[in-house]
Amino acid sequence: MKIAFIGDIVGRPAREIIQKHLHKLQVDYSIDYTIANYENASHGFGLTEKNCKELLDSGIDMMTGGNHSFDKKEIINMFDKYPLIRPINYPTITAGKGILITKISNKDVAIINLMGHYTMPMADNPFTKIIEVVEELEAKNIKRIIIDIHAESSAEKRTLLYMLKDRVSAILGTHTHIGTDDLEIVDGCCYVTDVGLTGCRDNVIGMKSDTPIQRVLTGFGGHLDVPDKCKTILQMIIFELDENGRAIHTQKIKLYENDEKVVTPTYILHPK
């Protein structure tokens, strides 16, 4: 099976480039299932129901969240209606769920949203929590496990890789909006520290640059806004899993607003 993962969707420019190109990419690369991170999809903060429907209609099958999952309060009533999850290490009484178990190519696949610790909202320890969850999935003989690790710290993401590389299929980093060049397969686990944003690329993490500049010069911040016009990029990881749920191939697609496309192959470390 071939699965695609789109990193942080930032505002309307991101939604538009996805709407324009995703269906064709799915055909060109024989993609069976598409996952995306929604937490910045509605003007940079959270997700509205209107934008949720728009993204699902564009070809996305399910979406993960992060520290901005609840910025739009209407999402509380959306978890039971749409294929959305939020970080699994939020308190158990928090609305929504942190895991989706679905069928892809007639095989059980578990998709988990996990939030890091450093600079993030108060939540359960992500490392002890994920061990509990993986053990529960293993007890059910679910071999295909995909994790969106939404974290600021690259060290936390790498630590997760070496904790779980023999037990999960893919660990895909989100949150920083800055794509990293370390896409690899380690012992059958597809890994990248950060997929990178989809949205505006000619500013600061998908937002207008005036407020970040003001903050670093004066110490005073302000509201971050997604530009109305910008140069855009769609960043997507595609990975293929074998019958045992191990990653055997992966590549990164970077598609720009002028239709230029860059495809980055993977480096396989210690293939099994």
Beta-carbon-side half-sphere exposure of residue 80 (alpha carbons within 13 Å): 3
Q: Give the tokens for residue 181.
A: 């060049």
Distance of CA 246 to the CA centre of its chain: 19
Q: Give dist(CA 272, CA 266) in Å, integer.
A: 15
Residue 44: DSSP 8-state: T
**3-class DSSP state of 25:** helix
Q: Are 100 and 114 a contacting pair, CB within 8 Å?
A: no
CB atoms within 10 A of CB 58: 18
- Active-site residue (options: 21, 68, 175, 177): 68
Is 68 marked active-site? Answer: yes
Residue 196: is it exposed, middle or buried by C-beta count within 10 angstroms (0-12/13-18/19+)? buried
CB 61 within 8 A of CB 85: no
Active-site residue list: 68
